[in-house]
Every structure is written in structure tokens, then in C-alpha cells.
Structure 1
Amino acid sequence: MTKENTKKDTYSFKAEISKVLDIVIHSLYTDRSIFVRELVSNAADALEKMRHIRLTEDTGQENTLKIDISLDKENKIFSIRDNGIGMTQEELKKNLGTVAHSGVIEYLEKVKDKNDLQLIGQFGVGFYSAFMVAEKVEVISKSWKKNASAWKWTSDGKTGYSIEETDHDENGTIIKVYLKKDNELFIEKSQVETIIKKYSSFIPFDILIDEEKTETVQAIWKQLPSELKDEDYKTFYSFMWNDFSPPSFWIHFSTDAPISLDAILYFPGTNMEKFGLRGPEESEVSLYCKKVLIEPQAKDILPKYLRFVKGVIDSEDLPLNISRETLQDNSIIRKISRVLTSKIIKVLSEKMKKDKEKYNTFYTEFSRFIKEGVASDLERKEKLAQLLLFESLKNEEKITLDQYIENKKEDQEAIYYLMGADRKSLENSPYMELFKKNDTDVLFSYEPVDEFVFQNLMMYKDLRFVSADTQGANDISNEEKEKENKALIDWIKETLEGKIKDVKVASRLTDSPVMLVSENMSHGMQRVMEAMGNSGLAMNDDTSNETLEINP
């Protein structure tokens, strides 16, 4: 209520400030609901300052610090109230009446033209997002300081503002947003609850909507891992992603260099992409700054092949534009990405060594993502290759590439592999006969993507990858037998002229009569290329470039 005979001081916005308001209201924000986030964040800032003051000074206050939101459907007013530090008359003028204070006007011009502003948390900017939806805004505020008066600031965001003394029973601030037409959704409780849950679930103060407390959870990434139990992590996971199947495992860490951040990253138990429930472009990592959501699906925060990871990242070093909506400095994001990617690969490597059963379960669901990384991430492909698992001729239980090398023959100069439908068909393949005879292991591949993995790696720890169905898998000459069987060889060449490249006596066959050997491209890669529609490269039905090896 306004005091009787109180003088109302009216101020006009300067032309420059009107221009700034136009930018803030029409250009700076892309989502009208952002004003709720901004007002809640400002209220939380005021409460945090009040909490600090209570710790350092005797204020005589013991009431609970909280945020109250009221929704007046009849008068179409959205109100938010806090019992924080409040503002004096001069602070109202400074914080709300002079948007261009401290050079903000110049920065806002950069936002509009170059989108490279690096400010966040300026009350006079986030506050003005309310005018996207408001015909008029009233701010009633009383400073926590002794004998302070209460003041009311009023503006339509166009012509100017007024300040007058008023009555207010406690320190803090009330902001009343008189909504424009077509913005009535912001006085619908369910809509406001959705916005609060999306952007402000981790505000460390109670938030009430029409006197009913909203569901919020602690920002557990800001706590020490020693303070949390497994159940805390699982509850948080369910809250964030509405996934009630428990994650396989998770990592919780903080770092100060090369950038300050707190993070919790989850490794799900199920690959939802295989069911078509998630797209390959979707990110499940949310980016926060000081517990306020900045980007719910941060696409660039992890490489695409790690898109199965779910998590939250909070960094106070984020260079944001003044609307808190756009990340500005790509070099900082790249630093964050490098830190997170290295951490994930390291954790997976440790899990593989220390908890083989759990890693194998994870690998069964998500191996294709690891393989995608090997085939696409040139910088980290060898580290990712250490995470690969394959069955082999000698091992029904999956082994790593390092284990294969550790047990290879002393004079062996290659890592041999063969692609096929299943273990039985590969074990009985004629291509295995020489390897069985020589007691040489061969990796078994059942997925087409493995061909790209081997082709992209080319070598691993100085050993080249060689498909067992190519000529490179056997360089042993059999000249004497070819002389003995010259007549047979010539007859086959004549009979199959134009259909095969050459005929040779096989040194690798022991039981099978014949087999086709590719000169360069493995049969597995040919099938992959054919499936991709590269008929010019895939020649499954064209054997004119292959050699027929016979076992006379």
C-alpha cells in the first residue's frame, strides 16, 4: 500500500536506454518463459546475499529464506517475492532505472550485432526480460538495513519509470508482472511448475507457487562424493531423466584446471537408441552455471559418439551472453569437452580392468558408440581402441587388442581378423584352416562397423590389421605344386576366363577344396559397401578381381 501524501518521482528513459530495452525485450531472448528463470535467479541471488549477511552480522532475523510465487488469474498478474537483502531508493534507481550502467549499453549492441557478450547476472538486464510478457511491472522493495524505508518502482518499459515510498512489512523484494494479452499461460500453475523444474530445480531455497512448495532437489554435483550414497545418485538420475531403470555406473568429479567445473556423468544400463527412442543427434548432458540451467541438451559438450552419456555440468567460468542463453567462447567449450572426454575414456579403461563383468555388460549395450569413436576421432582413436573387445579363434570370451598382442606368436607381424555372421560359420571357414594349422589367433567380427574400425586404425601398436580372407594374410609361395598342377590351373583359368583374376595352389587350405581370396578389400568390407549403395566398389557378385585358390 502506498503511503498517503507520498511524493512520486517520475523519470523518463533516455533515447539510448529505450534502444537498450528494445534490444533486451525483442532481440536478446528467444523464449518468453525465460523471464521466470531470470526473476527466480535474481531472487535466489538476493537470498544468498541475505544468508551471508546473517552469518557475518547480527540481523535479528531467523525466518526461513524462501521464494513465493503468486498467480492472480483474475487480474492476470504474475508475482514473485523474496525475503532477501532488498533495495534502497538509490539501489532501485541504479539497478533498475539505469540499464546502461557500467557500459552495458555498448555490450548489448555487441549482442545484437555480433552475439559475443560475456556478462551474466546483471539484475537490470535479466529483470527486463519481464517486459517481453508485461504491460507494466511493479517492484516493491525494502532493504535489510536498519530503519530502511520501502519503495515502489513502476514502469511500462517504454516511456520511463516512477519511484515512490510505500509500505512493506519485511525486507526483500516483490515483483509484480502485469501480463499482456496472449501471455495468460504464465499464470497457469502447471506451466510455471514446468518452467521451474526445467530451469530452477536446484535453487538452494524453497520455491512456493500459490503457497504450495514445488518439487526441487539438491544440486548434488556441488556436494562431495563422500557425502552421498548410491541411492542419492540413483534418485537424482530418475529425477533428471525420468528413467527408473538404474544407471550402470557414474562418475562424480570436480576440477579447477584448465577450467573450473563440477560434473556428474552417468552411464545408462540400456541403449535406448537401438529401440528408436533417441535420435543420434540428441544430447543428454545439461549445462548449468551456478545451478541455473543454461543449455538443456548441450550438443557440443561431448563428441557425438559419447551421446549415450547422461549428466550435468556446472561451471562458473562459462562465458555467456547477457541473456544467459548463448555460450560465447567456443575455446572454453572445447576445453570442457576435452576434460570430459578424457575423463570418460579413463574411467571406462579403469572399469574394464577393475570390474570386468560390469564393463562387459556395458560394452554389450554400447560397443557401437566406442567403435564409432575409433572410426571418427583421429586424436583419441588409439585410446578408444584399448576399450574394444572381440571374440577370437582361440577365445570364446572376449579379449582386448592388448591381450591379443600379448599372446600372439613371436614372429607374427599383423593382427588378423575375419568378419562373419556368427562364431560357428567363422570357425568352419576355409580361411581359418591355415591359422589353425599354424596356431595363430584371429579376431572374430560380427558387426559391419568393425570393418571401418580396422580400416581407420590401420595399425595398433606397430601391428597392421589384415583380414584373413585377403592375400595379405598369406604370403607363402607354392611354386612347386603350381608346376605339378599347371594343366589343371590352365584349364580352370580358361574355363573361368573373365570371372576370376588368377588361379593359384593354396598353401593355406588343408581340408577345403577351393576358396576365393580378395586382393585388397575384404569380403566383409565389400558387403558393407554394397549395403551402403556403393555398387562400384562392392563386388560381391563380381569375382574378376579375386584369386581362386585350389587344394588339388
Structure 2
Amino acid sequence: MATTRGNISIHAQNIMPIIKRWLYSDKDIFIREMVSNGCDAIVKQKMVKPDSDQEYRVLVTLDTAAGELRFDDNGIGMTDEEIKKYINQVAFSGAEEFLKNYEGDNKGGIIGHFGLGFYSAFMVAEKVTIQTLSEQESATPVCWESEDGMKYRISEGNRTARGTTITLKLAEDAKEFLDEYKVREILTRYCGFMAQPVFFEALKPATEVAAPAAEGEAAEKPAETKPERVHINEKPALWLKQPKDCTEEEYRDFYKRVFHVYDEPLFYVHLNVDYPFNLKGILYFPKLTNDFGTREGEIKLFSGQVFVANNIKEVIPDFLMLLKGVIDCPDLPLNVSRSFLQNDGYVKKLSAYITRKVADRLVGLFGAERAQYEKYWDDIHPFVKYGCVRDAKFFDQVKDTILYKTTAGEHKTLSEYLAKNEGKLGKKVVYTNDPTRQAASVAMYTQQGTDVVVLDTLIDLNFVSFIEYSAGVEGLTFARVDADAASFTKEEEADEEAKKALEISRDALLALFKKATGNESLEVKFQTLTDENTPALLVQDEQGRRFSEMGKIYGQDFKMPERYTLVLNRGNGVVQSLLAAADGETRDLIAAQLYDLARMSTRPLEKEEITAFLKRSHQLLGMIKP
């Protein structure tokens, strides 16, 4: 074959610098592109010779001594004319032209679309060599070489078997890709589930030194170390199987292997549809904790079994990012680098479909396995609530599956809670965000048969406001157990004289507590509580407290004082004694102590407040006479 020389056909003067510097977001993507080309060559060969029983594979070889990475496949190969058409013309993809000639069910297996993947090699290589032999009869081997991606040289090659070998002589600033473990990790990440077998081997130099030869005998050659050939994608892509053909053990093993975790998922959603999208995947529900806001899941996006990226927000709604899983959509409208998405309308429909399938799984589980769903609820409720707040359609689907766990450990839907407690509360839901600290207030409700639900995660502050507005229940309100004392206050008949005496007592106690606490904005109510053992409660208006807490969460200081109301139980002996006591230090100490005890049921005391509380406790103990 005569040697020919020429210039690569391009339509933009500076396209190679763009490809090398800007087209691909990560350098290591060149490995994915080289292997994808090899897989495409195999798919083409299978389409040409569908009855062949040959074992196909892509082999990636790391030759550290030579400073090279080689990508070898036994696919269809190329003639010199095909090289000129497919390699020398940047952005001319042979995939589309090939598919026009070979229509059939297997055409979806071809990865390439843009004809640019090959040129990612020049991000890391100072020289690229192609040795190829076409499957066509009487074809001759071809060698293609280029040092900059702009000028090339084609000559007769030396390959004797059908297929293609691409050799990258790595540039000085790309020596990191001579690291065996780095290359293997990249291959596993991007090619771990490719449809064609992918192998990796790292050539090892001879390490054993031969023993000295005896006199008159020939010296032995150093022993050669045979490279280990690793099957990168030995495990199949479980998401391609029909759900009915997958076992629970397979689902669990796949989860642990792909995400490198030891715990088991709660449950999963297996997506396997051909219409309206060619979409397959598995989404797992991991165990979530109250700090879910600081955690991120991991959803791997594939296109035709080729890994694209993790957590692409255009496809996966942000609230689903708490999950772990894989999504494979061969029809994803990727840009030329396979790193970003285009065609916004298609992607939005795909995202909405995934959300709907997740909601369908929750609704189905709630309806068919309510007891099991309740067991899952403690782990998944932050995710479900966050999804409801973020996505109105998701909320519409799952709103009847939202559970509220009571302090007694029961799980109730909103309608179930209202049906049981409506006679006492109307359309009000009573909740606690700290059952231990608010135990006194919780007990007052439960003693009269009222359920108190636990809402103690970060999302709940937003969620209760959202539900009040969105649940479709007129007059629905949520109130924390310490929002008011009306539900456990006794209504007592009193004549005018008794009312006047009560007003005098209230005014006296108000003056006492303002003086003892130094809080001039404090409000005091003098009421009879259902629990006579509780001397005082500190309550705060629900809406005012929510507004203040939201400001703290978002780092905003609204400069608004927190207003509390101290409810003194006039049926309690301590309060009665305090009212009858003479003015003095002891009375002030007891008043301040009662106030702090009431505060401790609402919020933790600050450092200075704890110090004052302990000092006061010691003073009061010192007044006890033996």
C-alpha cells in the first residue's frame, strides 16, 4: 500500500483545542470513549455476522514501560476508506450511516452518535496510532497515526486479525494514567456495565533474577510475569432483567456492590418500561436519619449501559437525590460530550415519569402491606415529606399515605387522627418536636385521651405549614403541645367577688414574676390545670414561634423578642403557697425557680441561665431546716 498524507477535514479552524480543553468536563472520560468505540465495533460485527459464535471482547492494556494505553477490540475493523471517512472527518459519525444499512432490533446497541469521542484521546496523548483490519474479504491492514489530531499519516498496517487497536502514547502531563489502579477504577466506573465484555491488563516487567548459570551451561532467561486479565463488567446490569426474574438477594447484592455499602436498603423501585420512554433502572430507599438534610444519595445515570454521571438534577428531582440507584435511558438527549443534557422538554417529561413511578411504589406498598409500610415510615418519612413540599404532583399522589406517628408508637393518617380526636380538638393536630423535654405537656394531653404526634425532623417545620395549606381540610391547624394551655384548663364557675379576687391574685403574681425574672414583657395567666401536680407551664403562640424558628434556620435575625405566657396553676400547692407568702428573697427565689422549670420544658437553658439556676437551687436547698 502506498503511503498517503493529508489534513483532517474540519469545519471550524480551532476545533481541536476546543475538544482538548473544553468539550469533556473530565480528562478521564477519554477511557470511556475509547472503550465505547470498541463496543460499537463489536455490535456492528454482530449485525454483519449475526450467526457467528465468536467470543467478542474489548481489551484495555496498560504498558507502563512504554508509556502507553492500548484499546483493542475484535469488532468490525476499518478499511483505509472508512478511516478517511470516519476518523479524518471530525464530527462525522459512522453510527448513523451504518444503521441505515443494517436495520434491525439490535441497532440500539450502538453507543456513538457524534463522531467526536475518538478525539478525546488527544486530551492525554502526544501520539495516537490506529492499527485496524476490516472484516471485509481481501481487506488489507491499515495504520493511522497522528501527533496533534490535525495532521495524520496513513500507511499499511501490521494487524493480522480482524478488529482495531488504538494506542495512546501518553503526554507528559497525563502520566497519571499510567497508574494501574487509577485506570482500573475509571474502567469500573464508566464501563462496569457495558453490554460487551471489557477486560483490563497491566503489563508487568520481569522481576525475578535468574540464578547464575553453572560452568558450561547456558544462562536462564529472567522469568516473565504474566499480566492478570481482569473482567471489568463481569457482573450483569441487574436493571436490564425483568423484575419478575430478579430475586431479593440479587437486589440486595447489587445495592451493596454498586454503592459500596454494608447496610441493606429498605425497599426499591424497579423501572422497566419501553413506553413512553425507553427507561430502565432501580431506585433504592436507604435508611434515612434526622440529619438527612446533610446527606446526599447517589443516583447513577447511564445511557445504553454507559455511565454518564452521578446525580444529574435535570433527570432526577432534587428530593429523589436522597435515594440510591441507577437510571438507564439510551434515548437521553446528551450533548456531544455525553456529559450534559439537552432537549429540556424531553428531560422534564422523563423526570416527571420517574417521580410518578416512585409515588406509585409508595401508594402500592401502603395499600397492600400497611404494617410493613409503617415499619419503613420512621426511615422514609423525611424523604416523603420533602418530596411533598417540593413537588405538588408527588404530593397529590402520596398524600393519603402520609403517616403521623404518635407518642404511643401508633401510626395514623391525617384523616384517621382527625376522626379519633375531632371531638376534643376539632380540626387541630397536636404535636411535639421533643417528647422528652415536653413530657409534662404531652402527658396532659395523653391523660385525657388525646393523641400527640411526633414531628421532630428538620423538614417538619416547613411540612406542617405546607399541610395546613395543601391538605384540603378546612380549618386544619397544627399546634405544638406548649402552644397554649386551653385543652387542659378547667372551666370553673365563679361569682363576681371570686373573679375580683382572682384578678388581684393574677396582678400580684404578674408583678412578682416580672421582678424575679427581669422580663418586663412576660405575660402571666392564673388558671386551674387538669394536672394539679404541675405548678406552671410556659406557652408560646404557635405562629410566632414558627416565624422565629424559620428565621434562625435561614440565618435571619428579625429582631423580634420571643413572647411567652407563663400559665400558673392555681390548683397547685406551690403556687398557692407562693401567693400567700410574704414579700422577700425566698419568694423571689421560688418564683424565679418556677419560671426556669417551666422554661426547661420548652427549650434548653443557656449557659448563664444554667449557672443561675444551679446557684438558686443551692440557695433554696440551704433554706431547708433539719
TM-score band, normalised by shorter chain: 0.7 to 0.9
Equivalents in 2 of 1:536, 1:509: separation in Å? Answer: 36
- Asked if the contact 1:466/1:473 (under 8 Å) is kept, the reply is no
Report the equivalent of 2:164.
Answer: 173
SS at match of 2:307: strand
Equivalents in 2 of 1:458, 1:40: separation in Å? Answer: 54
Instruction: Give structure 1 stretches of 5+ with no counterpart.
Output: 1-5, 105-118
TM-score by length of structure 2 reads 0.72
- Asked if the contact 1:66/1:83 (under 8 Å) is kept, the reply is yes
State the Cα deviation string for residues 266-294 of structure 1 (Å, max 9, x = none).
122x43785xxx98363400101001011
Instruction: Give structure 2 stretches of 5+ with no counterpart.
Output: 96-109, 202-226, 512-519, 572-626
State the Cα deviation string for residues 409-444 of structure 1 (Å, max 9, x = none).
479640321325327954765752xx865x554434
- The alignment covers a number of residue pairs equal to 517
Equivalents in 1 of 2:79, 2:132: separation in Å? Answer: 7
Structure 1 range deviating more: 209-218 or 135-144? 209-218
TM-score by length of structure 1 reads 0.81
Distance 1:101-1:306 versus aligned 2 partners, 3 A rule: closer
Q: Please state how far the C-alpha of 1:74 moved relative to its aligned partner.
A: 2.6
Structure 1 range deviating more: 11-20 or 226-235? 11-20
Report the equivalent of 1:521.
Answer: 543
Structure 1 range deviating more: 252-261 or 234-243? 252-261
- Asked if the contact 2:145/2:154 (under 8 Å) is kept, the reply is yes
What letter is aligned with 2:415? D
Do residues 450 (structure 1) and 460 (structure 2) align? yes
Equivalents in 2 of 1:548, 1:482: separation in Å? Answer: 22
Q: Please state how far the C-alpha of 1:321 moved relative to its aligned partner.
A: 1.1
- Asked if the contact 2:75/2:163 (under 8 Å) is kept, the reply is yes
What letter is aligned with 2:348? R
Report the equivalent of 2:42.
Answer: 47
Distance 1:493-1:297 versus aligned 2 partners, 3 A rule: same
- Asked if the contact 1:431/1:469 (under 8 Å) is kept, the reply is no
Equivalents in 2 of 1:481, 1:321: separation in Å? Answer: 80
Within 5 Å, which residues of 2 pair with 1:247-258?
247-258=265-276
State the Cα deviation string for residues 484-537 of structure 1 (Å, max 9, x = none).
42331244136526545574756x747467655545537687677668776757
Equivalents in 1 of 2:255, 2:538: separation in Å? Answer: 53
Report the equivalent of 2:122.
Answer: 131
SS at match of 1:462: coil
Structure 1 range deviating more: 358-367 or 65-74? 358-367
Equivalents in 1 of 2:346, 2:379: separation in Å? Answer: 32
Larger Rg: 2
1:415 to 428, 434, 439: 428
Structure 1 range deviating more: 134-143 or 184-193? 184-193
Distance 1:384-1:95 versus aligned 2 partners, 3 A rule: same
1:271 to 288, 294, 301: 288
SS at match of 2:412: coil
Q: Please state how far the C-alpha of 1:247 moved relative to its aligned partner.
A: 1.9
Equivalents in 2 of 1:197, 1:158: separation in Å? Answer: 28
SS at match of 1:174: strand
What letter is aligned with 1:65? Y
- Asked if the contact 1:381/1:457 (under 8 Å) is kept, the reply is no
Q: Please state how far the C-alpha of 1:208 moved relative to its aligned partner.
A: 2.3
Report the equivalent of 1:465.
Answer: 477
Report the equivalent of 1:235.
Answer: 253
State the Cα deviation string for residues 53-73 of structure 1 (Å, max 9, x = none).
222xx6xx5331111222222
What letter is aligned with 1:177? L
Do residues 214 (structure 1) and 224 (structure 2) align? no
Equivalents in 2 of 1:297, 1:198: separation in Å? Answer: 14
Report the equivalent of 2:27.
Answer: 32
What letter is aligned with 2:40? D
Report the equivalent of 1:260.
Answer: 278
- Asked if the contact 2:70/2:168 (under 8 Å) is kept, the reply is yes
State the Cα deviation string for residues 314-340 of structure 1 (Å, max 9, x = none).
112211111111122343333232222
Do residues 203 (structure 1) and 215 (structure 2) align? no
- Asked if the contact 2:9/2:88 (under 8 Å) is kept, the reply is no
SS at match of 1:196: helix
Distance 1:406-1:50 versus aligned 2 partners, 3 A rule: farther
What letter is aligned with 1:221? W
Q: Please state how far the C-alpha of 1:209 moved relative to its aligned partner.
A: 2.2
SS at match of 1:98: coil
Report the equivalent of 2:584.
Answer: none
Q: Please state how far the C-alpha of 1:246 moved relative to its aligned partner.
A: 2.3
Q: Please state how far the C-alpha of 1:380 moved relative to its aligned partner.
A: 3.7
Report the equivalent of 1:113.
Answer: none
SS at match of 1:121: coil
SS at match of 2:129: strand
Give the RMSD, CA atoms, in angstroms.
3.7
Report the equivalent of 1:12.
Answer: 7
Equivalents in 2 of 1:490, 1:122: separation in Å? Answer: 87
Distance 1:514-1:387 versus aligned 2 partners, 3 A rule: same
- Asked if the contact 1:470/1:522 (under 8 Å) is kept, the reply is no
Report the equivalent of 1:86.
Answer: 77
SS at match of 1:496: helix
Do residues 187 (structure 1) and 200 (structure 2) align? no
Equivalents in 1 of 2:554, 2:507: separation in Å? Answer: 32
2:298 to 284, 291, 309: 284
